[in-house]
Amino acid sequence: MRFVPTPLAGAFLLEPERREDDRGFFARTWCDEEADAAGIAVRWVQCNVSFNRRAGTLRGLHFQAAPHAEAKLVRCTAGAIHDVIVDLRHGSATFGRWFAAELTAANQRALFVPEGFAHGFQTLADDSEVFYQMSAAYRAGAGRGLRWDDPELAIRWPHAQTRTVSARDQSWPHLADVALHGEFRRVG
């Protein structure tokens, strides 16, 4: 598998290297040794799945506050998503910057999201399914979020006309409001 760095330090796109023959293919989707070589030391403790009936469904931007901060490995197992991460690590050279990648069942890429990042996605196809590996168990009291449409972030989301967003995700604060309350972990 290939660990392709993103413009946000510590975040990677993972591309499986397929071994194909007349039966189909085989590909590794995670390897601790290869992750260690890429500078990723993480232990997965929980797996989640999100099924989304309609294209345009937007979920996020979510994160967990310390001490329950979590790394994620996100993969689209059916359909397609526009996957977005935002660096929330104070002191990071890319604090407040975002990165997006298209993850599809066909391209089989995954996005490694380090601790200290918010994460969200918008579906690009009906019946899209997203599989997450998590480094920390979900704690409802630690759950936080950012507005997906924060003008300071200026994230370019697809499907503006057919967007479906939950009331909860529409109620999250803007980055400036959350940052004032020291929600983010420090880098270094």
> CA 146 to CA 55: how far, in whole Å?
22
User: Is pLDDT at 187 greater than 90 in this prediction?
Assistant: no
Domains of the chain in start order, with CATH, are 7-13+42-179 (2.60.120.10)
Strands 2-5, 164-165: pairing is unpaired
Distance CA 35, CA 173 (A): 34
Confidence of residue 13 (pLDDT cuts 50, 70, 90): very high
Residue 40 CB coordination number (10 Å): 18
Kind of pairing between the strands at 24-26 and 19-21: antiparallel
Do 87 and 148 contact (CB within 8 A), yes or no?
no
Percent of the chain with pLDDT over 70: 95
119 is catalytic: no
Catalytic residue among 62, 90, 119, 138: 62
Distance CA 156, CA 166 (A): 19
User: Could you say which of 68, 90, 119, 132 is catalytic?
Assistant: 132
- Specify the pLDDT at position 180: 66
State the pTM of this model: 0.91
The reply to whether 138 belongs to the active site is no
The answer to whether 168 and 120 have CB atoms below 8 angstroms apart is no
Mind listing the pLDDT tens digit for each residue in 155-171?
Answer: 999 987 778 999 999 99
